[in-house]
Every structure is written in structure tokens, then in C-alpha cells.
Amino acid sequence: MTHETLGVSKYDILFEPIKIGPKTLRNRFYQVPHCIGAGSDKPGFQAAHRSLKAEGGWAALNTEYCSIHPESDDTHRVSARIWDEGDVRNLAAMTSEIHKYGALAGVELWYGGAHAPCMETRQTARGPSQYASEFESLTYCHEMDHDDIRRVQGFYVEAARRARDAGFDIIYCYGAHSYLPLQFLSKYYNKRTDKYGGSFENRARFWIETLEQMKATVGSECAIATRFAVDTLIGEEGIEVERDGLKFVELADDLVDLWDVNVGDIAEWGEDAGPSRFYRQGHQLSWQKFVKQASKKCVLGVGRFTDPEKMVEVIRNGELDVIGAARPSIADPFLPEKIRDGRLDDIRTCIGCNVCISRWEIGGPPMICTQNATAGEEFRRGWHPERFPKKGSDDAILVVGAGPSGSECARVLMERGYVVHLVDSAEKVGGYVNEVASLPGLGEWSYHRDYREVQLGKLVKRNRDSQIALGGKKLTVEDVLSYGADKVVIATGAHWVTDGTNCLTHAPIPGLETPRANVLTPEDVIRGTKPIGKRVVILNADPYYMAPSLAQKLAEAGHEVTVASGVELGRYMHFTLEAPNMHRMLHELHINVLSSTWASRVEDGRIELYNLWGDGHKRIYTGPGKMPRTANTTHAWHEFDTLVLVTARRSDDGLFRGLKARSGEWDARGIKGVYVIGDAWAPKLIADATFDGQRLAREIEEANPQEPKPYRREAAVYGAPYQPGGSYEIRYQG
């Protein structure tokens, strides 16, 4: 007899309450601290994003890292702050909204040492020893004396008091990602010879004293948590789980109500927030599971847990008490509720692309999500991931193209009650995602397609007038005009160019004016439409994943691969935390990378390459119609059997432009409007193409849906009353 026949779900263990100090988690789903770009300056965004997850069933919701003092300022990135009463007021909006749903609110108190660049405040952080940050540029800390230590510990205590007053239930002393208390514990940072350095007990002293003071101040009212990198993965100079990681857990256990355990350091924190390209879910369990053996307290850990079966397994096995999550909670804020209700195929599974993280790493923009287009839009646009406004008309809508943008647009339109016909000549929903997900390490990106495919299937059954037509001929302009739709959405995507046009010269490469049999695009490689020779040159002007992924695919297939890149190879992958392991992969596969290199021309079986800088940065003019060359640069020929061009993408917008050219016929054909979204408008990230589809579907009744509606802005308005020791008055704009 199964659990289900007895009326007991195998997932019930995930919904058991668990006590942490003076507080109780209502279940075992816990949104760990993670950055969204809200901080304390956008209280509406902060409150709406976190409380939406509380509505979706998460038991606790935390801020991002929260600065405790102006000398721990991470500008240009956006962190939360709890420096004064103005910050208390702004963060209280978050705690108030979270509490409405019976969830707990947590705050991660952060002091960065030399990893705090203080670009806004222009103060200087303090650290255990003076060192230059390996993460920031030109950033040193001041080495603390004993007065400094007492002063910084006082920062933690005062911040904890303010956090309590703001309504937080869980207060962290943040010691992961190489931030201050871990800097004292780690020999890599701590070179002291006094009572705060040297032996393990001395190196642990700062952290222990700080926890003691925080617990004495707020521990009777709030749960005390610490986020601890139990292994920094840098060897003996750092923290190792079997040497000092578990030893510290045992030492501090009586002072902590909740252990939030991870691995890795600041320079490569992708070892913690592991992208799916390199790490499967639960990849940190090999270290985390030992903490349960050393601690009597509640232990949680992250690992991009997306599978309810795995969640149950790690709890039943005694590896963790609570499922910590950041990215899965962004992709689906209602993940706990869907598991509880048995709606597993309705979960928007995190694909592990780390685009959410990339926006914070860039500094400033709000977080986005490839899977969940409403992430970051909860407050400013009022979007809810599970609720949609009812349709505003009886218009029938034709969506041409079932890629990321078109499938999302059709899905949301159907959710709203519209009759939608989704048409694509491809055999499967997904468009560009289907090809990308076939690249090495990117298989989990197919969850983006799977979610939309499943939901569209359900919606068509619910609304039998809607249709999904796949695998037919491509629609022509006349086909669309004659279709009978009231409105038309063009989502026909984009393609990689064949002539070498690029961001460096904005021009084709001489010799590629006509197609060559041994010159391929990424589509050719992925689809296997052309033979590939032994010696492959990849010419790259794209800053993201395509060139490294193709290089890996071809090298693993036995080809000799050279990548000539005119832009930093995989530059955007620094923001998605994929870059370190990507570069290791290129090295291990013996892929030859020529940096700052571009092509002046291509001939049969050879390409002329030159260094962009040469002997200087000056370009010289060589005559009308000729490529500008760098002064004194040597141009060298490289032979190839196959040349792969990863140079630029171009919109497949012929259908849209053809329809627009015949706009005079629209009225007579009953067409009220034709709109274009996603890559067909301009090539972009999959996340932004998906957003385009969601936005147009929500705004389809507007006078001109092609133009986005203004969103609500949170802004400090010049001339507004100033609160001493606090913030400028917040007025909502837009």
C-alpha cells in the first residue's frame, strides 16, 4: 500500500514545521539571502519580490547581503543597507508584507573587509590583516587593532538591534564568500600574531565574540543564523571541512540557531552558485552533509534543488534539515505550493543559467530570470507569475514563431482567455532553445521549452478554439493577411550571419561575400548540416557562451580547435559565474585561444588574422573600401579545414517588414495590429526574449502594444523633506 493510498504524500516531510531558536519555520522551504538589485533604496521592489514567495509557500525569505556600516559599501553593486533608521523604515516594508503570509523574514548582516570597494561612501573597510582584495580592483583594507575589532563588533550589534526593530525574525552573521568573520578564521587572510591570529582558537575568536554579542542583544527575540563556507576550496590556506570547518561548527554551535552552509570563496563564488553548465543539483552535499554530524542545530544548504524527490532524499538521509534555495525560488516562487498540491508539471524549473546573478554582477539593474519573466517586475509592473488579467476583448490572435518569445506570448494570452493560434514550421516548441540546449553542459536549459510546451498543451485543451500548429510550411505575408486573425504577433527569431559582419568593424569580412562550403555558422555545427574538417578555426565576436560551447563540442569530437576572438572570450560568462570553469575547460581540451585577434580576409582554406592592438592602439586609414588596419600590425595566414563564424546575429524580420509594407490592407483584412517581439525585433538574451513575449501579452489591449507601458519607479525626489539620520522621502514615479 502506497503513501498516497493512505492519504499521506511522500513529500509531507517537506512541510513539517521546524524550530529555530525562538522562531518556527512553517515548512522546510527556505529562500536564502540572494541579490535582486533592490537593496534598501527600492523598498517596494524588495517587499513585493520577497512576499510573493511567502504567498507561494516559502517558510522564510531573506534580504540580499545587508551592509552594517558605510565602510562596508559594495557600490557599484546593489546591496541592502541597515545603517540608520531610514533603512529600518524601508526594510520594514519587506518584513511587514512577508508576515502577512505567515512566513519569517531574515536579514544577512554583511561586512566585507577589502572585498567592499566603498565606491559611494569613499570609506575604508577594516580587516584582520592588510591585503589587497583578489575580487575587487585596487581595494585594500585597514588592519584592525583591538579598538578596531571592538568597534566593528559594535557595528554588528547595532545592526542586529535595527534589524530586530525592522521586524526581522532571523538575523545572520554572514561568514561565507570570504567576508569578514571568515577572513579572521582563514589563514589565507589572517596573518596576525596576537590573540586573534595564529591558532584555530585565536582565528575563531572574532566570529565567536561577535555571535555572543549578537545573541546577548537580540537572541531572545530573533533566531541567530550564520552563513558559513565550510570549505573554501583553496586548500590548506583556506577553510577545509575536515580540518577547521567542522571544528568551527562544534565551537559555535551553542551560539547559532541556524547554520546556512555552502562552499567556495569570493573570487570563484560560482563554486557555490554553480551554473548548470558545470554542476547538477545538490553539488555541495559532499561537504554540507558533514555539518549535521557536528551540529545539534538546524542545518540548511543550497544546491539549486529543483527535484522534490531529491529534496525528500536529503532530509530523510539526515544530510540537511531545510532546503535552501535562491535560484529555484526566483524561477518559481510558488514551488512549495505546487509540490504540496501535486502539480509537479506546473513547476518552472530553474535552468541554472545564472542570468539572474549576471544582472547583480554587472551592478545596478534589477534581477531577471530566463524561466520567470515576472521576476523583478512584481512591484514596478505589478506582475504576478500565477495570475493574469482577464482578456480585454474577443480578438483572435495569431502568433508566428514558437521560440522563447512566441511560446511565452501565446501562453500568457491563453492564460488570459484569448483564442490564440501558435504557428511554427519547426516540429517542436522551443525555437532557438532547442539548439542551445544541445550544446555541452546546457541540457537543463531545455526546461525553458518543456515548461511552455506542457502549459500550452494544457491551455489548448482548456480553450479548444486555440491551436498549436507545428511542422507546416513557413507562413508568407499573404498567408498571414488571409489568416483571419484580429491581431498578429511576429516572433520569428534570428540567425547567425554568414558574411562575418561583427561588432568590431560593423562590416562583412572580405572573402565571405558569397557562401563557402567549408565556412559554417553555429546553426550548421549544431544541426550537422555540413561536414566538419579536422582543423577548425572559430572566429568569434560574441561575448557569451556560443564560441566556447562550440569549441568544446568540436574538441570533444576530436577536432583541432583554434578560437580567434576579437572580444574577450566569454566576457558575459564572468557575470554568470561560468568563466573560471569555462577557461579551465578550454585549457584541459587543448583549445588554442588567440585573444584580441581579428580577420582581415578569408580565402580558400585560410584566414588572415591580425592582433587588434599591434604595436599600438592607433588605427590607420588605408583607402576607400579597404579595411582599417592597426599600425605596424603583422597579418598572418592560418590554415583551416573548417571555419566557424560566431560573429553576429541578425533578426529574421522579413515577414514583419513585409506585413508592415502592406499595412494599407490591414483594415480590409480585419487586422487591427501587427507586432514583433523577441529576436525578430533584435537579437537578445533568451531571458529578454521571453520577457518580450510576456510583456506584449499583458499589454495587448493598449493603443500601441509595441511600445511598453511606463513602469512605476522608486526614486528619491530632489527637494523632498530629508529625515535626519534617515532616507529621503520615497515618492513613486510613473
User: For residue 443, what is its C-alpha cell?
Assistant: 541540457
Angle CA(652)–CA(654)–CA(657) in degrees, nearest 5?
125
What gap in Å lies between CA 714 and CA 115, rounded to an integer?
Answer: 28
Looking at this protein, which amino acid is placed at residue 262?
Answer: N
DSSP SS3 for 9: coil
DSSP SS3 for 33: coil
Looking at this protein, which amino acid is placed at residue 37?
Answer: G
Query: From the candidates 131, 156, 179, 545, which is the catalytic residue?
Result: 179
Q: Which of 606, 608, 609 is nearest to 639 (CA)?
A: 606
Q: Which of 235, 255, 248, 238 is nearest to 291 (CA)?
A: 248
User: For residue 663, what is its C-alpha cell?
Assistant: 499595412
Non-local (6+) Cβ contacts of 154 within 8 A are: none
CA atoms lying within 13 Å on the CB side of residue 38? 28
Q: Which of 144, 132, 143, 137 is nearest to 119 (CA)?
A: 137
Looking at this protein, which amino acid is placed at residue 437?
Answer: A
Q: What is the edge-to-edge ordering of all strands in the sheet holding 642-646?
A: 519-520, 642-646, 535-540, 560-565, 592-594
Is residue 179 flagged as an active site residue? Answer: yes
What gap in Å lies between CA 681 and CA 656, rounded to an integer?
Answer: 9
What gap in Å lies between CA 44 and CA 48, rounded to an integer?
Answer: 6
Q: Positive or negative, the Cα torsion across 175, 180, 186, 192?
A: negative
Q: Positive or negative, the Cα torsion across 713, 716, 717, 720?
A: positive
What gap in Å lies between CA 250 and CA 679, rounded to an integer?
Answer: 54
DSSP letters for 531-585: ---SEEEEEE---SSHHHHHHHHHHHTT-EEEEEESS-TTHHHHHTT-HHHHHHH
Q: Left if phi > 0, otherwise alpha if psi is -120 to 50, otherwise beta: which for 87?
A: alpha
Q: Positive or negative, the Cα torsion across 597, 598, 601, 606?
A: positive
Non-local (6+) Cβ contacts of 614 within 8 A are: 630, 631, 632, 633, 634
Bridge partners, 519 (sequence order): 643
Q: Which of 189, 178, 42, 164 is nearest to 105 (CA)?
A: 164
Catalytic residue positions, numbered:
179
